[in-house]
Structure 1
Amino acid sequence: MALVIALVLVLEGLGPFCMPNRWRLFLLQLSQQRAASLQKYGGIMVIVGLVSLYYLWP
């Protein structure tokens, strides 16, 4: 479990580390989206993640 958390931290940190200005603009655009749109995209990400875990878990 700790390995998974560490990998998520590495992947999530790449954006702000490599492209801080683009990351800031991305977050600004994201903050201007409607809550329903963010909820829909979040749900899609959860489903894709769960399906990926199901197929990739050893």
Structure 2
Amino acid sequence: DRDPRVRIEALRALERIDPTAAAATPEVREQARSRDSRVAEAARRILRAASAESGAAGR
């Protein structure tokens, strides 16, 4: 496996670029189930941001 710090930074970059598109990838969903809690939290943050964006778009 890659260094968790690298995965966290990659997830943060995806969150800044486009959380909705990032959340649609199986890799982000897989990282949300990571054994490393920091990696999992970074991925879940993307999923929450995408959910919030889709909820705001529906209003």
Structure with the greater alpha carbon radius of gyration: 1
TM score, norm. by length of structure 1 = 0.41
TM score, norm. by length of structure 2 = 0.40
Structure richer in helix, relative to its length: 1
Looking at both structures, which has the greater relative contact order when contacts are Cα pairs under 8 Å and sequence separation is at least 6?
A: 2
